[in-house]
Amino acid sequence: MYALKPLKVYALDRVYESPECLVRLDRMLGGLGLDRAAVTVVTEANLPEVVAELQALWPPAVVPAGEVRSYLRPLVFTTIELSYRRPDLRPLLARCPAGTSLDTLGAIFGHMGTAIDQHPHQRDRIEDCVCWPTYNFGTVVGCSHGCLYCGAGRGGRFLSIALNLEEYMERIVGPVIENNPWNRVFRMILHGADLITLEPEYGLHDLFSRKLAQYEERYGHFHTGSGNVDWLADLPHKDRLVGVWSVPCETVSRFMEPGAGTPLERIEAGRKCQEMGIPVRYKLKPVIPVRNWRDEYADLLRQAVTLSRPESIGFSLYIWNTFESMSKTLPMEHLDPECVEAARAAAPTLKERERRVGPFPHETRRMIYQHLIREVRRWDQEVKLYVSTETREMWDDLKDELGQDPSCYVCACGSLAIPGGGLALNPGLRYSTYHPTPV
């Protein structure tokens, strides 16, 4: 696992009631060079002090020289609350310091989402989003990385790590797989976490791939910005996993993704996984138009397809933002002035339905995608290309250049995108959310 240096480590008292959780806790503490003596036990009695401490610890006043800021985040070991009626946390909230959110208590007490149906047709139609319906799993809230464009990376105060993974696999993952025969590839991705950064000590992907292997032709995506992959070689069911890397250009990596792998480390990780027989897919998400974006992304794409053999490469501009939120969170001095000006000029008139894909207007995004497509095709005529979570209009404009049918396209983490580069279309799901749905 990453060499995290948490400012403080906590564990909810109920972790100590489970032998399986304790084995996992000890293994992870060992990976950090710690032991149980370093852990503060969280009880209902000391909760107000713990919450106050968490608020004071982050953000840190100083980051010691040579340390990665995001690796200092406190860790809270917990268990996912799987009872039918989760306890009401509001009485506890009333005892906590002013300003404490229910989300903070939820993360400490494991009230995290267990499995979410993502991108259902109806919602994507309303939001003008083209994607594939799928199920997302996840067991950690918060991220080891510190990416500036990501809420968890930028603002997360601590990582909340659930330890009752055996129970989660039996009570959540297995039944979701059984109840959704149309879904062939599931995502392990929820809550902004980069889960493989905690492996192999965490043991999530070993359990996940073992669970998937209990069913015919079911697979799971891991989604990462990390190069931490050597441990995958030892998993007995690694053939059930599919690797999806978000890959940045150099400037984005250096100035906006502290703590994450460099572009070359991720491509090298992709190459290693390919040698292990694990399919490799790259997703440039977000593409950020830095000053030298044409050359930097051209270099990245050349390396991606000449150093490894990805099954697909996808593109998504920096979206889900306004000009104002971008200005507050990204180092604007590194961005391309023409693209910034286009976003500034478009801000007052961006139509309601275009805001999801803001702040860059359609023409700017399309122009950048066209460059990226051309650069891949200089080196590779075969790899499947797509735009991710874009609008129907963008697909209409680019489908010929991309070479895929927007109703039925191969991408990275689609629920039908099985290993080998094909689509496992079936009566339960035949079309992406581009396809019209009955109103």
**Nearest residue (CB) to ligand SF4, 79 versus 246:** 246
Task: Determine whether 173 is exposed, middle or buried from the number of CB atoms within 10 Å of its CB (0-12, 13-18, 19+).
Answer: buried
**Nearest residue (CB) to ligand SF4, 186 versus 208:** 186
**Nearest residue (CB) to ligand SF4, 58 versus 431:** 431
CB-CB neighbours of 223 under 10 Å: 22
C-alpha atoms less than 13 angstroms from C-alpha of 66 in its C-beta half-sphere: 1
**Nearest residue (CB) to ligand SF4, 257 versus 311:** 311
CA distances for 313 relative to 181, 319, 423, angstroms: 26, 18, 15
Query: Which residues neighbour 285 within 8 Å (Cβ) at sequence distance 6 or greater?
Result: 246, 314, 315, 316, 388
**Nearest residue (CB) to ligand SF4, 180 versus 388:** 388
Which DSSP letter does residue 72 get? G
Nearest approach, Cβ of 414 to ligand SF4 (angstroms)?
4
**Nearest residue (CB) to ligand SF4, 211 versus 221:** 221
**Interface ranges with ligand SF4 (CB under 6 A):** 131-132, 283, 314, 388-389, 411-414
- Tokens for 371, please give them: 């460059």
d(CA 50, CA 77): 13
Q: Which ranges of 319-391 does DSSP label H, i.e. alpha helix?
A: 323-329, 337-346, 362-379
Which DSSP letter does residue 423 get? B
Nearest approach, Cβ of 152 to ligand SF4 (angstroms)?
17
**Nearest residue (CB) to ligand SF4, 253 versus 388:** 388
Residues in a beta bridge with 404? none
Cβ density class 119-152: b for 16+ within 10 Å, e for less: bebeebbebbbbbbbbbbbbbbbbbbbbbebbeb
Nearest approach, Cβ of 413 to ligand SF4 (angstroms)?
4
**Nearest residue (CB) to ligand SF4, 28 versus 131:** 131
Task: Determine whether 328 is exposed, middle or buried from the number of CB atoms within 10 Å of its CB (0-12, 13-18, 19+).
Answer: exposed
With contact defined as beta carbons under 8 Å apart, do 270 and 311 qualify?
A: no
Nearest approach, Cβ of 45 to ligand SF4 (angstroms)?
43
**Nearest residue (CB) to ligand SF4, 205 versus 221:** 221
**Nearest residue (CB) to ligand SF4, 132 versus 202:** 132
**Nearest residue (CB) to ligand SF4, 156 versus 314:** 314
d(CA 31, CA 8): 15
Nearest approach, Cβ of 24 to ligand SF4 (angstroms)?
29
Angle formed at CA 236 by CA 415 and CA 178, multiple of 5 degrees: 40
Nearest approach, Cβ of 276 to ligand SF4 (angstroms)?
22
3-state helix, strand, coil in the chain (%, to 5): 45, 15, 40
d(CA 159, CA 194): 11
With contact defined as beta carbons under 8 Å apart, do 405 and 377 qualify?
A: no
